[in-house]
Chains A and B, each alone.
Chain A
Amino acid sequence: MSPEFAPYPFISTHYPATPRDAVAGGEPKRHPVVVVGGGPVGYCTALGLASHGVPVVLVEADDSVCFGSRAICISRRSLEIVERLGALDGFLRDGLPWTGGRSFYRDTEVLHFTMPTDANQKLPPMVNLAQYSIEQHLLDAAQARPDLIDIRWQTRVTGIERRADGARLTLAAADGEYPLLADWVVAADGGRSFLREALGLQLKGTSYEGRYVIVDILLDSQRPTERLAYFDPPCNPGSTVLVHKQPNNVWRIDYQLRDGEDPDAAILPENVMPRVASLLDMMGERGEWKPIWMGIYKANALTLESYRHGRVLFAGDAAHLVPIFGVRGANSGIDDADNLAWKLAFVVKGLASDRLLDTYSEERVAAAHENLSYGTKSTEFMAPPSFAFDLMRKAVLSLAVRHPEVRSLINPRQTSAISYLGTRLNAAPRQGAAFAAGPAPGAVLAECPVTLGDGGESREGHVTDLLGPRFTLLYFCDGDVPAALVDLERKLGGDGVPLKTVALSRTAAPNGDAARARDHTGRLFPMYDAVSGTSYLVRPDGHVLGRWKHTDATAVAAAIHHALRP
């Protein structure tokens, strides 16, 4: 008898098919940017471009957000990006924040890890939120910008003809095919990317043999949100089981298939149900539960060698496939989108040379290799690829009970913010010696509470609140912002290059036009090793471009010019 399945506790909106463009004779319509794929990466790219005022056509094959068991863990870095895209509220309202997890060997706890968090942080290190909710919140934000984001529902790309100045796409709408011209195409069309195939590109890397069954169930439990890993548990000897809590009483259970188990048989409900039941019994969960979804997963660690192919730019799963262990899939895709959006916007607006887009590929391919190296380590532990990894894991787990010195090998190496320390955009590398602390060029900002604004208008906030779709100069001072910096902001603004200088002071001194924030905790200046006159120049994606102990407006101008014409 097959069990009764429960639906996901989510009612998805179905969007009517977008009719095809009427192309009567003449040339098809031309658009600066077409984003292919309405997933987290496509929406983040579209929202990022819109934040810079660039119009986007987004093409989505389905009629709603995704269905089924997909990404569930969103990192602090992704939340920072989502906040800049205007969609954070829903993520925090619906998501479950968490800070750590526990690993068990048989019936003994062998690791309790916590992700970095402290009183300076604005956002939790991780929230759990189902991908359909992630997409819906991003989609809602995109639909609030109908002036700039044109979503083509139930429309599929079926052909691409590349040209020197863009591409001619063939789109299949519900009512027929039509051509469309794009100056730039963003391929965010997922792991089975049509565009990757159409361009004859291949992902390179490692595919693992070990398989996991992935089950989502509905269960009412007050158990806290944390990552649980059970190695060789009494309920399922020889296997590895992962458990994650999702909002609205949904639980994600992943368990490893034993060698020789037939994957097709393994995901039959009659084989899945008893495994889940015995796990819940072992965990002491006695409540009623129902299955929602069952699927199978095989880890891949693959990437394209370049994410820029002329006028086509690849992002997210279309560009790289990262193992689920360590939660780098959706998070690295959101990071891709954030890196790409401002660069593409600046190129489309004629403010930057298209070489800036080469740095998108350079930075994000390097990031993918870093993500893959951690993901590979996690996979080698979670799904041992040979007898040797299996044997050594047994040694680690059995020793970990009494020997804390080996426990770090069990740590799942959760995703953390990537630094572009080697990127050619970074300015003033020789200044590094002058700083004993603070984010180096290429790194993201260190979070710290500040008081935003001044006088009667002030409110509590954080350093990352000072960023926006522009270059931001964080100028540490106890007096006024020098006239040369005020002039630079005005001059670049006149050329269309957005720069905003924010004065960060230890005292609430009145000041003319410059935006201000105050280091009311006294922690910010030492955290950035700043003196009066120090500055950090920050890219639109929140990575530091350069820093100067004693700021010279000419050097700041040169750093921005170099970034725009690398």
Chain B
Amino acid sequence: MPTLTERELDQAYTHLCKTMTRLGEANATLFLARFALLAMTRIGDAEAALKLIDTAAEDVAAAAPA
């Protein structure tokens, strides 16, 4: 499985943050949902996608702001 270098991850992270900033908070959820959908099809592995969804959901309630 291809992996990102630390630098590549960093660049992608910053691009995501800046893009989301530009779209504004009102559009953030839809933007992230669209990104998740595109990432899912790009992963091309149903089992991996399902597992990532479950992993991302773990502890979300605890991590969410008070």
* A residues apposed to B, CB below 8 Å: 237-238, 377, 380, 385-389, 391-392, 394-399, 401-403, 405-406, 408-409, 411
Other-chain contact of A408, B10, B62, B66 (Cβ < 8 Å): B10
**How far is it, in angstroms, between the C-alpha of A408 and the C-alpha of B19 when the chains are bound?**
21
B16 A408 Cβ-Cβ under 8 A: no
Contact residue among B55, B56, B66 (Cβ-Cβ distance under 8 Å from A237): B66
Least distance between A310 CB and chain B CB atoms (Å): 38
A-B residue pairs, 9 tightest by C-beta: A398-B63, A388-B20, A408-B6, A386-B21, A388-B21, A389-B17, A388-B17, A387-B25, A392-B17
* B17 x A377 contact (CB < 8 A): no
Contact pick for B17, options A386, A398, A401, CB 8 Å: A386
Q: Which residue of A lies closest to B3 (CB)?
A: A405
The one of A380, A401, A402 in contact with B14, judged by C-beta atoms closer than 8 angstroms, is A380
A397 to B6, CA, bound (A): 16
Q: Is B44 an interface residue when CB atoms closer than 8 A count as contact?
A: no
Chain B positions 1 through 36: 1 when the CB is less than 8 Å from some CB of chain A, otherwise 0: 001001001100110111111000100100000000
B17 touches A380 (CB 8 A): yes
Assuming the A-B contacts A386-B21, A387-B25, A391-B28, are A238 and B10 also in contact, with contact meaning beta carbons closer than 8 angstroms in the complex?
no
CA distance in complex: A403, B9 (Å): 14
Q: A388, B14: Cβ atoms under 8 Å? A: no
| B63 pairs with A387, CB closer than 8 A | no
Q: Per-position contact with A for B50-65: 1 when CB-CB < 8 Å, else 0? A: 0000011011101101
User: Considering the chains assembled together, what is the distance between the CA atoms of A396 and B10 in angstroms?
Assistant: 11
* Interchain CB contact (< 8 A) of B28 among A237, A388, A402, A406: A388
**Looking across the interface, which residue of chain A has its beta carbon closest to that of B5?**
A408
- Taking a contact as CB atoms closer than 8 A, the residue among B21, B60, B65 that contacts A389 in the complex is B21
Interface majority SS (helix, strand, loop, mixed), chain B? helix
Kindly list 14 other residue pairs between chains A and B, CB separation below 8 angstroms, not including A377-B14, A386-B20: A238-B65, A377-B10, A380-B14, A380-B17, A385-B21, A387-B20, A388-B20, A388-B21, A388-B28, A392-B13, A394-B65, A399-B56, A408-B10, A409-B9
**A391–B20 CA distance with the chains assembled, in angstroms:** 10
A411: chain B residues within 8 A (beta carbon): 6
In the complex, which residues of chain A have a beta carbon less than 8 angstroms from the beta carbon of B16? Answer: 388, 392
Kindly identify which residue among A389, A394, A408 contacts B63, using a CB–CB cutoff of 8 Å.
Answer: A394
Shortest distance in angstroms between B62's beta carbon and chain A's nearest beta carbon? Answer: 8
- State A387–B17 Cα separation when bound (angstroms): 9
B14 cross-chain contacts in A, Cβ below 8 A: 377, 380
State which size class the interface on B falls in. 20 to 34
With A238-B65, A394-B63, A398-B63 as known contacts, state yes or no: A409 contacts B10, CB within 8 Å. Answer: yes
Query: How far does the Cβ of B33 sit from chain A's closest Cβ, in whole Å?
Result: 14
The smallest C-beta distance from A303 to any residue of chain B, in angstroms, reads: 20
B13 and chain A: residue at smallest CB distance:
A409
Whether the Cβ atoms of A387 and B9 lie closer than 8 Å is no
Q: Which of B3, B10, B60 has the most CB of A within 10 A?
A: B10
Query: Chain B contacts of A401 at CB under 8 A?
Result: 59
A386 to B17, CA, bound (A): 8
In angstroms, Cα B3 to Cα A359, docked, is 39
Q: List 14 A-B contacts (CB under 8 A).
A: A238-B66, A380-B14, A386-B21, A387-B20, A388-B18, A391-B20, A392-B16, A392-B17, A398-B59, A405-B3, A406-B9, A408-B10, A409-B9, A409-B10
Bound complex: CA A388 to CA B65 (Å)? 14
Residues of B within 8 A of A388 (CB): 16-21, 25, 28
State the Cβ distance, B32 to closest chain A Cβ, in Å: 9
Interchain nearest-CB distance for A140 vs B (Å): 41
Whole-angstrom distance between the Cβ of B8 and the nearest chain A Cβ:
10
Rounded to whole Å, the gap between the CB of A406 and the closest CB of chain B is: 8
Residues of chain A contacted by B59 (CB below 8 angstroms): 398, 401
